[in-house]
Amino acid sequence: MAPDDLPAGLRTTTLAERPDLLAAQWALPTPWPTFMERDPVGERLFGRALERSPELQVLLLDADGAVLGRLVATPFAWSGADEDLPARGWDAVQERSEDDARAGTALTAVSLLEARLHPDHRGRGLSAHLLRAGRDVVRRCGFRDLVAPVRPTGTADPLLPLADHVARRRPDGLPEDPWLRVHVRAGARVVGVCPASMTVPGTLAQWRSWTGLPLDASGDVAVPGALAPLHVSVEHDHAVYVEPNVWVHHRLAAEEP
């Protein structure tokens, strides 16, 4: 695929069209803090999306065929009601997708799980191109509903309630958060916060290795890269991170311009 609005030399494809790029897309450098890749649900199920639905996985390639970005998505059964989007966002939609596929349930919607760009190519507006390509792929696969438990990129204060950050608007009425703004500009509706989208438990030794912090006192700790405080218990030798995300909903037309 080569949408007209992509920068010269770039193109998109799917993992179904280019299964030979599976290893290359896994090798994309991660922009996420280490602890985010220790989510037990993600460790167990994230790769299943690529195995089950390669036709939904979008890759952004440069002129030489190198992978610059990826969009990972998974289908699931959704009633179409806002309240049927789980409070456990990212974790729950992966579990639902797996359970629905095993049960043979009709898959009626698609959820994005990740949008990742190579660090050398961030800040070029490519995330918007990647999202538009994802919308087109999902629509061509016969789905009309695309949702996403979005991880806002514009908040640096884990002590600020995410709902307060989401409510912030620019003078033009668009979200202040850059990644939410990309979704809204592409046609999405902000549904609301999913407060327990990702849960990462671990021993204090594990969390010290993931964060480099001493974690030598019980209580809430602000961790760089986190969207909420880390709950630390020295007495019980563990810490738990519960990350909120934001559900957005793209209603896709049968045909788009």
Q: In the chain, which stretches have pLDDT less than 70?
A: 1-4, 255-257
Sign for the pseudo-dihedral over CA of 173, 189, 112, 54: negative
Give residue 256's pLDDT: 60
With a CB cutoff of 8 Å and minimum separation 6, the contacts of 25 are: 15, 57, 59, 67, 70
Query: What is the predicted pLDDT for the residue at 189?
Result: 98
Is 89 exposed, middle or buried (CB count within 10 Å of its CB: 0-12, 13-18, 19+)? buried
241 strand-pairing partners = 200, 230
Task: Tell me the pLDDT tens digit for each residue of 179-223.
Answer: 999 999 999 999 999 999 999 999 999 999 999 999 999 999 999
| Homologous superfamily (CATH) for 11-197+244-251 | Gcn5-related N-acetyltransferase (GNAT) (3.40.630.30)
This model's pTM is above 0.85: yes
Position 2 scores a pLDDT of 43
Can you give the residue ranges of every domain in the chain?
11-197+244-251, 202-240
